[in-house]
Structure 1
Amino acid sequence: MKVTEKKIEGCEALLTIEMDSAATEGALDHAYQRLVKKVDVPGFRKGKAPRAILENFVGRERLIDESLDEVLPHACAEAIKEEKLQSFGTPGVEVLQNEPLIFKARVPLPPKVELGDYLGIRLEPEKVEVKDEIIDGMIRQLQHEKATWELVERPVKSGDLVVMDLESTIDGAPFINQKGLQIGIDEQSKYPAPGFSQEIIGLASGQSKEFKLRYPDDFGKPELAGKEPEFKIKINEVKEEKLPPTDDDFAMSLDVEMPTFDALKTRLTENYRKRVEQQAVQDYENRLVAELIKISKVEYPANLVDMEYERLVNNQMDRWRSQVNSEAELEELLARVNPEELAKQLRPMAEERIKISLALGKLASAEDIKVTDADVDAEVARMLEPVPEEQRAAQQQQLASKEAREQIVQVLLSRKTMERLKQIASGQAQSAESNEQSPAAETQIENKEEVAQ
């Protein structure tokens, strides 16, 4: 075996390797011994045909192909050792010719990270502001949920609820046909077609109207894009929304039954402030990491991105699986997934995560940040606090496993490293001993849930 060409590109080594016949002969013989037990050769019992007869029967190419599973990994390992390379994963192999056997090996090499002047990073978190109009909007939404609808004798206005008889067709075929249909009038609504609410505004109870609308060419439902439905409507009732007054009775009427309206507003304000503060922390951490990556040089082999991409795809699959009720529904959902669009969405995310992980890992090493057994024990105790007493022993046993503790180490190391980066960015670069958990951004909470907290 000899390496005829070697090229280093980033974190990959490209080797062209040529095998001599003596090096492959043993593998060919092993391939014969496997094949002869699987192939029926006329005139011979299975496993008894001589190699020359078998080779003539199946072809030498088949024998060579069978031997590659043995030859290629061994030859790659020898070439990597000979070239004094440190492989960072399984090499990719491409056979160029069979006799003599020549192949190319793409060998992933360890990532390389060169931190820039991270001690010079200076960034401050954004100030959090809770605007009155945001809280007022939350209260208004709660009012809408408790609103009543009262009949009015006037023309339809935006925001009304209209009861109507509706007939419609598209290209002469029935479309939406229903008597006593209730439709909320909203000029931004696209139901049942864009512009429908505008056609209803100004009509009064007992009035009828016929009109035609058109769906945009890029409408979300392809089967309706560009179509021109014809509508015939008759207004039966017009109802106006009556919002409850913002008083103590209103606060008590909610599911959480706040004692006073002032208490309700205070709870909404506190919960909203907590949420925006958590989001501000997450945004600040993202900006810090982006700045660290910007001033650093981070190189990595393609297989790292492939592995992270596969992990993201598996996570997405788990989310889809949790949203359906059967495997049939899952298959139907997956049939609508465009693999190219999925890759376009997730591959950049995978690359970004690899960069972040490598940069923070290098920073942890440069700053000599470590996680002790005591740190892990304290974190386990914190995790067990909310666990019911009857479940705590089983949960504690799970967290005591080697794999679980290693995961906790990584979480704590990441947390400590981020705290150190914050100290640096704020100009307080002292010893990194903070073990406090950085608040993470949470999913937005509905207004009703805001009150319940």
Structure 2
Amino acid sequence: MKVTEKKIEGCEALLTIEMDSASMEDALDHAYQKLVKKVDVPGFRKGKAPRQILENFVGRERLIDESLDEVLPHACAEAIKEEKLQSFGTPGVEVLQNEPLIFKAKVPLPPKVELGDYKSIRLEPENVEVKDEIIDGMIRQLQHEKAIWEPVERPVKSGDLVVMDLESTIDGAPFINQKGLQIGIDEQSKYPAPGFSQEIIGLAQGDTKEFKLKYPDDFAKPELAGKEPEFKVKINEVKEEKLPPTDDDFAMSLDVEMPTFEALKARLTENYRKRIEQQANQDYENRLVAELIKMSKVEYPANLVDMEYERLVNAQMERWRSQVNSEAELEELLGRVNPEELAKQLRPMAEDRIKISLALGKLSSAEDIKVTDADIDAEVTRMLEPVPEDQRAAQRQQMESKEAREQVVQVLLSRKTMERLKQIATERLPTEASAETTPTTENETENKEEATP
């Protein structure tokens, strides 16, 4: 075996490999030993036909093909060793010719990451503000949920609930026909057709009206796109929404059963604050990582993206599976999926994840960030807090496996690395930053102080 050509492109080595005749003969002989046991050769018991007879019977090409499963992996491994390469996955091979056997091997090489001047990153997190109108909107939504509808003797206004008899056709065929139908009047609504609510506004109890509407050509339901339904309505009753007053009784009527309205408002405010702070923190981390990636050089073999893309596809499959009630529904849903569109959506995401993972991994190494056993134990304890006390011992035992602890290590390492990047970006001391984040162990604090420039 000899390598006749070698080319390094990024994180891939392209090798052209030629097998010598002696090695090929050994491989053909091994292939004969396997093939002779599977092929019936006239005049011979299975497994007893001489090699030349078998070769004449099945053809030399068949014998060569049978040998490739053994030859190619072995020859690739030898070539990689000879060229002093470090393979980062299974090489891809392409046979160029059979005699002599010449093939190309595409060998994935380890990723390369060169961090830029990451210590020059300066980026402050954005302050979050809980606006009164947001909380008021939440309270108004809760009022809507507890509202009652009272009949009124006046023309229909937007926001009313109207009881009507409805008849309709599309191209002469029955469409929606129902007596006593209740429809909420909303000028933004597209039910039962865009513009329907506008036609009802101004009508009063006992009024009738006939009108025609048209669905847009790009309507979400293709079977209705461009169609022109004809409607005939009779207004039976007009109802107005009556919101409950925002008092203590209203607060007690909700599922959360807060004792006072002020307590309810405080709970809504605090929950909303936590939510927007979490989102602001995630956005801040995303901006930091984007700055790190922008100033760094990250190279990786294609197989890394392929593996991450496969994980994303599997995760999407699980989400789809959770949205349906049967395998038949899942098959129907998958039948509408365009593989090219899915790849266009998920492959760039896979590439971004690879870049982020590699850059943060290099940063944790550059900053000598470590995860101690004490860190792991503390994190496991924190993770088990929501677990019922009588189940914690069993859950803790499961978390003691090597695989489980390694997963915790990766979570903590990622968290610590991100916190270090925040410290650098805001030029704060570790003790100042830790006051706003998850409590650290004494060892963790020492590690961070040593890494602080």
Give the TM-score of the pair, scaled to structure 2: 0.93
Question: The residue matched to 1:188 in structure 2 has which SS?
Answer: coil
Give the aligned partner of residue 448 of structure 1: none
Question: 3-state DSSP class of the match of 2:96?
Answer: strand
1:295 aligns with 2:313: no
CA, structure 1 residues 431+258, in 2 after alignment: closer, same or farther (shift >3 Å)? closer
Give the distance between the partners of 2:335 and 2:310, measured in 1 at CA: 19
Could you give the per-residue CA deviations for residues 159-190 of structure 1, whole angstroms, max 9, x where no partner exists? 11111122222222222221111111111111
| Structure 2 unpaired stretches of 5+ | 440-453
TM-superposed CA distance for 1:437, in Å, is 5.5
| 2:313 is aligned with 1:317 | no
Which position in structure 2 is the counterpart of 1:354? 354
- How far apart, in 1, do the equivalents of 2:138 and 2:153 lie? 30
Maintained 8 Å contact 1:420/1:429: no
Question: Which stretch of the first structure deviates more once superposed, 200-209 or 297-306?
Answer: 200-209
Is the Cα–Cα contact under 8 Å of residues 423 and 433 in structure 2 kept in the other structure?
A: no
Alignment match, 2:161: 161
* Alignment size in residue pairs: 439
Written as runs of structure 1 = structure 2, the 5 A alignment for 1:29-108 is 29-108=29-108
Aligned pairs for 1:40-439 (under 5 A) are 40-428=40-428
State the 4+ residue runs in structure 1 displaced beyond 4 angstroms. 429-439
Deviation at 1:4? Answer: 1.8
Q: 1:53 to 1:225 in 2, by over 3 A?
A: farther
Task: Give, in whole Å, the separation in 2 of the partners of 1:50 and 1:432.
Answer: 81
More displaced stretch, 152-161 vs 207-216: 207-216
Give, in whole Å, the separation in 1 of the partners of 2:176 and 2:309: 44
- Structure 1 counterpart of 2:443: none
CA distance in 2, matches of 1:159, 1:23: 84
Specify the code of the residue in structure 2 equivalent to 1:69.
D
Offset, 1:248: 1.7
Which is worse superposed, 424-433 or 377-386? 424-433
Report the AA paired with residue 373 of structure 1: D
Contact between 1:415 and 1:437, CA under 8 Å: does it hold in 2?
no
Deviation at 1:438, TM superposition (A): 6.1
Identity %: 90
CA contact (8 A) 1:95 1:104 kept: yes
CA distance in 2, matches of 1:342, 1:103: 33
SS at match of 2:259: coil
Q: Which amino acid is 1:258 matched to?
A: M
Q: Which runs of 5+ in 1 are unaligned?
A: 440-453
CA drift of 1:433 comes to: 10
Measured in 2, the distance between the counterparts of 1:235 and 1:368 equals: 74
Cα contact 2:156–2:202 (8 A) shared by 1: yes
Q: Which amino acid aligns with 2:150?
A: E
Measure, in 1, the Cα distance between the counterparts of 2:84 and 2:215: 65
Q: In structure 2, how many angstroms separate the alpha carbons of the residues matched to 1:378 and 1:9?
A: 45
How far the C-alpha of 1:377 sits from its partner, in A, is 1.3
Structure 1 CA distance for aligned equivalents of residues 178 and 58 of structure 2? 71
Deviation, structure 1 residue 330: 2.1
**Amino acid of the residue matched to residue 190 of structure 1?**
K
Tell me the secondary structure at the aligned position of residue 17 of structure 1. strand
1:186 counterpart SS class: coil
Query: Could you tell me how far 1:42 is from its partner in structure 2?
Result: 2.6
What do residues 82-139 of structure 1 show as CA deviations (whole Å, max 9, x unaligned)?
1111110001111111111111111101000000000000000001101111001001
> Partner letter of residue 329 of structure 1?
E
Report the Cα distance in structure 1 between the residues aligned to 2:58 and 2:167, rounded to whole angstroms. 72
Paired letter, 1:9: E
